[in-house]
Amino acid sequence: MNKAIFVADFFANEVPGGGELNNQELIEILRERDTHVLEVKSGRLTPEFISECSKEVKFIVANFAMLSEENKTILENDREYIIYEHDHKYVRSRNPADYNNFIAPKSEIINFNFYKNAKAVLCQSRFHADIVKSNLKLDNIISLGGNLWSEDSLETMLSMSKVDKNPTCAIMNSSNWHKNTSDAIRLCEAKQWEYDIIPTCGYMEFLLRLGESEKFVFLPKTPETLSRIVVEARMMGLSVVTNNLVGATGEEWFSLKGEDLVEVIRNKRIEIPDMVVECFK
């Protein structure tokens, strides 16, 4: 793959979310492999731009809430693309937890043809992929079984895995209702567990604060396609108290923690880009 257009609603220099950080690592790794990657915001992509691209150019589409219907149709009919899925953009609400067994009624399914015509729909975990398959019944859905982290982040987490832990439960202080900070606090209080609420801060500072505790409590209200923070906690040697909505817990490597898990995730920096390239062959 010599040239790729990476399409997303936002990039890591704008929104430092888990999906954006993941995307950025994929972009950088592909560039290191001599693939020319151009980043294009989904809301700024135009039919003219697509038509001017050679048919040899591959499109990697991540979050695409701002991608026009016209551009989706052009990609569906005239270009090779994959969807690097981070959530559930085939459901109008983007929350399959609204429905029994995570299966939305057909009236709530959107973007079906866009998923169907992709070379592949790459999901973050088996849990994630199974939900997508249950709703779309397509055979191009693949689980990546993990995310991408920078080498600097992995080294930081490896170091933190070796420090003595405080006998506290870490809780992420999030204003997002679906991260459910309030129930995590209630559980700790009911169990009489001492807890530390980590405020909003820079990414590396957040990792250092998280890595000081011996346990992480996280009770999301919507399906977490993987949950980077849960994997980060495990890489830093924490035990995790969570529910059945976290994709990472269903991966075969989830029983590992500390250095062993860091090594598995480091290998994803080879495996995941390999899978992306393979999808276009």
The yes-or-no verdict on residue 1 having pLDDT over 90 is: no
Q: Which long-range contacts (CB under 8 A, 24 or more apart) does 105-112 make?
A: 109/135, 109/136, 111/72, 112/136
Rounded average pLDDT over 176-182: 94
pLDDT digits (tens, 9 = 90+) for 51-102: 999 999 999 999 999 999 999 999 999 999 999 999 999 999 999 999 999 9
Q: How far apart are CA 166 and CA 239, in angstroms?
A: 12
Instruction: For the chain, list the domains and their CATH numbers.
Output: 3-148+267-279 (3.40.50.2000), 151-266 (3.40.50)
Mean pLDDT of the chain: 96
- The pLDDT, as a whole number, for residue 257 is 97
pTM score, two decimals?
A: 0.95
- The pLDDT, as a whole number, for residue 92 is 95
Query: How deeply is 250 buried, as exposed, middle or buried, from its count of CB atoms within 10 A (0-12, 13-18, 19+)?
Result: middle
Q: How far apart are CA 202 and CA 210, in angstroms?
A: 12
Instruction: Report phi then psi at 165, rounded to 5.
Output: -100, 150
The yes-or-no verdict on residue 17 having pLDDT over 90 is: no
pLDDT digits (tens, 9 = 90+) for 106-159: 999 999 999 999 999 999 999 999 999 999 999 999 999 999 999 999 999 999
